[in-house]
Amino acid sequence: MKRTFSLLLLLVCMVSCQDNQKESFLDSFSNHYNCSPKVLNEYPVDSLGKPEYIYSWRNYIIVSDLIDNYLLSAYDLDSNQFYRFIEKGGGPNELIDIQQLGAMDENRFFVKSTSGSKLHLYGTNRNKDIASTAIKEILSDFVSVTVDGSMIIGSSKGESRFTISDLDNNEYKKEFGENIGSFSQDMASNILQGLCVGSPETKKIAWFSFYGEAAEFYDYSDTTKVHCLKQHTGALPLVNERYVFDKDSKIGITSLTKSDRYIFALYNGSTLEEIMMSKDLGLLSNKILVYNWEGDPIGVLNLDKKVRSISYNIGSDTLYLIGYEEDSYGYNVCYIDNINIILN
């Protein structure tokens, strides 16, 4: 289906969603907090090649790395034990890549690959090592997901931008979403590929686009009438009718994590041309945007070093990060503790 459209950087007023358009995401924030992440010295930095994601689960730091034969590594903060798991490949217990890591329930987390339609679930065995526990089939349209009991909710490809499904019954499918700027939902689902996190306690989901500056907050307490709480837009992607991005299009949010009170979004702001010139280092950033679950901007954490990925640990109120040291051209794991105190 051919569509010819010109991108207008304006906001379409919608009754169901409070819209906030700015020239940049950063214009929405009045509170700025300067932070100096501390290096986790005990972490074996020699194990880091080209780390992509970090995920803090219980007392473990889980990292995905692009250059190792194993896709994930686990570091136990209590015992200092380090090991790798999930081999790269197409076998029954292997994955091609890692697209997302997230909470499944109190005792397990999930691993999602870009290929296939499965959530690979992991917990701990008798030796307290991370081990596979189950595999759940999900709809192949899902891009980024959050799990709430037997419900799986997330961004998806198709005519609607979001989908609610049942983990025990994939035939159940409820779609929802709003238009963004001049993009219809099917356009946005192809252009604005992003990340989402959810709060099962408040029945809310937050979504941020990787391409351009767009964010939405939804309330799904009534799954028959999911409604948008707030929508934030800044510089939307510049694309032609074939969905090809202009080199001046901005990169938005590259990593996303959440606490029971806040959403933390690693903001990039570079153009595609700048990313291509910088290669892997182009995805580094030193600004973390903080919102509450109503979609209100709370503040910006301005870091004194650039980081690749972020993950919040609710048990210790600590934000863990994959940091980059420009002097040594190497990565490390660092952290910011007492997040709630900083933001209060």
What is the per-residue pLDDT across 61-120, written as a single tens digit (0 to 9) for each?
999 998 878 999 999 999 999 999 999 988 878 899 999 999 999 999 999 998 778 999
From the list 223, 221, 232, the residue with the least C-alpha distance to 292 is 232
DSSP code of residue 157: S
Average pLDDT value for residue range 316-320: 98
Which residues pair with residue 297 across a beta bridge? 291
CA distance 255 to 96: 20
The larger pLDDT score, comparing residue 110 to residue 248, is at 110
Torsion on CA atoms 154, 157, 162, 168, rounded to nearest 10: -60
Average pLDDT value for residue range 179-183: 82
CA distances from 251 to 141, 200, 219, 234 (A): 23, 29, 26, 11
Residue 154 pLDDT exceeds 60: yes
Confidence tier at 246 by pLDDT (50, 70, 90): confident
Average pLDDT value for residue range 162-188: 86
Residues 6+ apart with CB under 8 A from 40: 61, 320, 332, 333, 334, 335
Residue 124 pLDDT exceeds 90: yes
CA distance 30 to 52: 30
Residues 6+ apart with CB under 8 A from 168: 150
From the list 76, 96, 73, 75, the residue with the least C-alpha distance to 85 is 73
pLDDT in the model for residue 39 = 97
Kindly give the residue spans of alpha helices, DSSP state H, lying in the chain.
185-191, 272-278, 339-343
pLDDT in the model for residue 279 = 76
- CATH code reported for the domain at 18-343: 2.120.10.30
Confidence tier at 155 by pLDDT (50, 70, 90): very high
Which token pair is 73?
């590594």
Average pLDDT value for residue range 189-212: 91
The pTM of the full predicted model, rounded to 2 decimals, is: 0.92
From the list 173, 208, 188, the residue with the least C-alpha distance to 290 is 208
340, 317 Cβ separation under 8 angstroms: yes
From the list 27, 56, 28, the residue with the least C-alpha distance to 43 is 56
Write out pLDDT tens, residues 37-68. 999 999 999 999 999 999 999 999 999 998 87
Confidence tier at 191 by pLDDT (50, 70, 90): confident
Residue 259 pLDDT exceeds 80: yes
pLDDT in the model for residue 128 = 86
Residues 6+ apart with CB under 8 A from 57: 101, 103, 109
Provide, rounded to the nearest whole percent, the portion of the chain with pLDDT above 90.
69
322, 55 Cβ separation under 8 angstroms: no
CA distance 15 to 33: 34
From the list 102, 38, 109, 26, the residue with the least C-alpha distance to 307 is 38
Coil/strand/helix, residue 190: helix
Residue 8 pLDDT exceeds 60: no
pLDDT in the model for residue 14 = 34
Residues 6+ apart with CB under 8 A from 210: 192, 193, 194, 195, 251, 252, 253, 254
Coil/strand/helix, residue 280: helix
Write out pLDDT tens, residues 19-43. 677 778 999 999 999 999 999 999 9
Residue 12 pLDDT exceeds 70: no
- Give the chain's count of helices (H) and strands (E): 3, 25
